[in-house]
Amino acid sequence: MRVGLLTREYPPDVYGGAGVHVEFLARELAALVDLEVHCWGEGRGVGVVRHRPWSALDGSNDALRTFSVDLAMAAGLEGRELVHSHTWYANLAGHVAKLLYGIPHVVTAHSLEPLRPWKAEQLGGGYALSGWAERTAIEAADAVIAVSGAMREDVLACYPALDPARVHVVHNGIDTRLYRPDHDTDALTRHGIDPARPYVLFVGRITRQKGVPHLLRAVRDIDPGAQVVLCAGAPDTPEIEREFRELFEELRRVRAGVFWIPQMLPRVEVVQLLTHAAVFACPSVYEPLGIVNLEAMACGIPVVASRVGGIPEVVADGRSGLLVEVDDGFEAGLARALDTVLGDPDAARRMGQAGRERAVREFGWDAVARRTAGLYEEILKQA
C-alpha cells in the first residue's frame, strides 16, 4: 500500500501528543506499508516531504497559512493510494487529495475544534476556518480513528451526520523501551532539582486545554516538603503565557522548590525527570487520551489526573493513580489527591509499578500500527 501520512508535527519539531503519536506510528507503519510522510518544515529526507506556509501569506492569520501548507501537501500526494491525516492542520490536505486523486482518506481525531473554544484566543476568526476544515474532512472521510472510546463518543456528538460504522477506536501507544525508569540524576542536577526531595511534575504545553493554571493554584498548599517542577512551553498566546508567568511568580513567593523549565527537553531528560518524580500531575480540562500519562506510567510513577475524556481509559483510578472530578472543587481535589500520593510512598510505589505493567501490556505501538494498517486494507478493499 502506498500511504501518505499527513501531519503538522514531525521530528525534530514535535511539541504535543499528536506529534508524538505520528512519530511512533510512522516508525512502525514503515515496516508494513510504503509510507511517505508530509509535514511542516524545510527540506526533504528519505520518506519525508516537508512543506512551509506560502511566503505571500507571511503575517496572515494562521489558519490561512495552514491552508497553504495543506494545498502544497495535496499537490505532492499524487501516486499515493490512501492518505491519513492528523489534526485540523492537515485534515484539509487529506480531503483535497481524496477529491483530486479519487483515493480514500483516513482521519485520526486527536482533539475536536468544537470542544476547544479557547482556540479562538489563538486563531481569532481563523477558529471558524479550522472548525470548517475539520468538519469537512471528518464528515467526508472514509474512516475516522478515535484515540479513545470517549473520543469516539465526542466525534459522533459533534458530527452527527457521520456514520458511526466509520468511526473506529485505536488507542494511542507508548514505546516502553524508550520510556522506562532511568535512575541517573544528571538532568535533575542540571535544572537545580534536589533528587533527595519528592517533587510533583507537570509536562505539557501552556494552553487552556492542559489546565496548568489550575495546577499552579492547587499546589500552593500541598506538602511544603515537596518540590514542584513544571516542564511547560509553547504557549498558545501571549495572554496565556502572561497568565502562567504571573501564577508561577505568585507560587514562588509562597513556597520554595518551584522550578519552571520552558524549553522543550530532549526525551532522555524527560524520562529521567519522570522516573524521579513522586507523582505526575495532569490537570487537563479536555483530553481525548493523554499520551503524557502513558509516558509517566511507563516510567513507573503514579499519576494524578482529571477525570475527563479518555484519561480514565489509561489511568486506572486507585490502581495506577488517582482521578479528580473537574467541577467547582477541582483545584482543591487536585491538592488532596497530590497530598494523598505524596503522603504514602509505599502506595505510590505500587501505583507506579501497576502503571508500568499496564503500559507494557496494553499500549504497544506495534499493535497500534498493525490495527491501523489493517484498517487501511479494509478501506482499500471497499474502494
291 in Cβ contact with 350 (< 8 Å): no
Per-residue pLDDT tens for 16-33? 888 989 999 999 999 999
Pick left, alpha or beta for residue 11 (phi over 0 → left; psi -120 to 50 → alpha; otherwise beta). Answer: beta
The x, y and z cell numbers of residue 79, run together, are: 501516486
Per-residue pLDDT tens for 203-242? 998 988 899 999 999 999 899 999 999 999 888 888 999 9
User: 101: number of CA atoms within 13 Å, CB side?
Assistant: 22
Is 179 part of any domain? Answer: no
41 in Cβ contact with 13 (< 8 Å): yes
pLDDT score recorded for residue 237: 86
- Tell me, yes or no, whether 70 and 168 share the same domain: yes
Residue 76's domain comprises 2-173+364-382
Is 178 part of any domain? Answer: no
- Tell me, yes or no, whether 287 and 357 share the same domain: yes
pLDDT score recorded for residue 121: 80
Q: How many CB atoms lie within 10 A of CB 325?
A: 11
Enumerate the β-bridge partners of residue 233.
Answer: 205
pTM of the shown model: 0.82
- Tell me, yes or no, whether 271 and 377 share the same domain: no
Instruction: With CA atoms as reference, report the closest residue to 126 among 82, 188, 68.
Output: 68
Cα separation, 23 vs 79, in Å, equals: 23
Instruction: With CA atoms as reference, report the closest residue to 73 among 104, 103, 50, 54.
Output: 50
**Residue 43 pLDDT more than 90?**
no
Q: Starting at the earlier edge strand, list the strands of the sheet with 227-233.
A: 258-261, 227-233, 199-205, 279-282, 303-306, 321-324
Helices (H) and strands (E) in the chain, counts: 14, 14
Is 203 part of any domain? Answer: yes
Query: Whose grid coordinates read 485540523?
Result: 88
Count of the separate structural domains present in the chain: 2
- Tell me, yes or no, whether 112 and 137 share the same domain: yes
CATH number at residue 87: 3.40.50.2000
Q: How many CB atoms lie within 10 A of CB 166?
A: 16
Cα separation, 140 vs 151, in Å, equals: 18
Is 180 part of any domain? Answer: no
- Tell me, yes or no, whether 21 and 153 share the same domain: yes
**Residue 383 pLDDT more than 80?**
no
The 3-state DSSP class for residue 168 equals strand
- Tell me, yes or no, whether 56 and 135 share the same domain: yes
pLDDT score recorded for residue 214: 96
Is the bond into 12 cis (omega within 30 degrees of 0)? yes
Angle 345-362/330-342 helices, nearest 10 degrees?
100
Residue 169's Cβ-count burial label (10 Å; 0-12, 13-18, 19+) is middle
- Tell me, yes or no, whether 43 and 127 share the same domain: yes
Per-residue pLDDT tens for 291-331? 899 999 999 999 999 999 999 999 999 999 999 999 999 99
- Tell me, yes or no, whether 165 and 272 share the same domain: no
- Tell me, yes or no, whether 161 and 192 share the same domain: no
Per-residue pLDDT tens for 51-107? 999 999 999 999 999 999 999 999 999 999 999 999 999 999 999 999 999 999 999
- Tell me, yes or no, whether 160 and 51 share the same domain: yes
Is 181 part of any domain? Answer: no
Confidence of residue 9 (pLDDT cuts 50, 70, 90): very high
- Tell me, yes or no, whether 92 and 138 share the same domain: yes
pLDDT score recorded for residue 135: 97
- Tell me, yes or no, whether 45 and 62 share the same domain: yes
